[in-house]
Amino acid sequence: MIILIGLGNPGEKYKNTRHNVGFMAIDAFAKQNNLADFELQKKSNALISKNEDVVLVKPQTFMNESGKSVKQILSNTNSSNLVVIHDDIDLPIGKIKIVKERGSAGHKGVESIINNIGNDGLIRFRIGIASPHKTEAIKVVLENFSAGEQKILDETIQKVVSALDMYIKDGLDKTMNEYNK
């Protein structure tokens, strides 16, 4: 079983912000693969959708506390095959990068996960959200995308969904070779 964790912040206020591209990618993956509706799992404080092969997770903690939810999810399963999908301010919009066992690079959600479960074997799909307008990270991650950026993001989300499908079918190496260009 593979656990795909999309990072974001809960609530309508944050729904379309740059910090929520992890949620957006998980939602698109669920829709494209006809997975069940997300249901709140109170014990792990996360929205969960699953089938026999894949579990999709959207932690309902705020970004900086994502690791608490992820730790609880992992305590309820025997799977060590975990992928985290999240925004990355160091990548331009339209770019994705797949990494394994890398540091958080200052991403507070990833840092929380690493602090709670470690980094051994941790695979991450990083989605570029860089804004040319602001340099202060907190302002960038909480802003919405412009219309032009949204068009690029929509295409990027579809690329992430295709990369996740490839990862599930063909493994990490082939997926990294295909999408880390």
Q: Which residue has the higher pLDDT, 145 or 84?
A: 84
CB 26 within 8 A of CB 6: yes
- Indicate if 86 belongs to the active site: no
Q: Once rounded to an integer, what is the mean pLDDT over residues 5-9? A: 97
pLDDT at 123: 97
pTM of the model: 0.93
pLDDT tens for 164-175 read: 999 999 999 999
- Crossing angle for the helix pair 108-117 and 66-75, nearest 10 degrees? 40
Closest by alpha carbon to 131, among 122, 120, 144? Answer: 144
pLDDT at 124: 98
pLDDT at 85: 98
Candidates 19, 86, 107, 133; catalytic one: 19
Asked if pLDDT for residue 106 goes beyond 80, the answer is yes
pLDDT at 136: 56
Percent residues over pLDDT 70 in the chain: 92
List domains and CATH numbers for the chain: 2-179 (3.40.50.1470)
Asked if pLDDT for residue 131 goes beyond 70, the answer is no
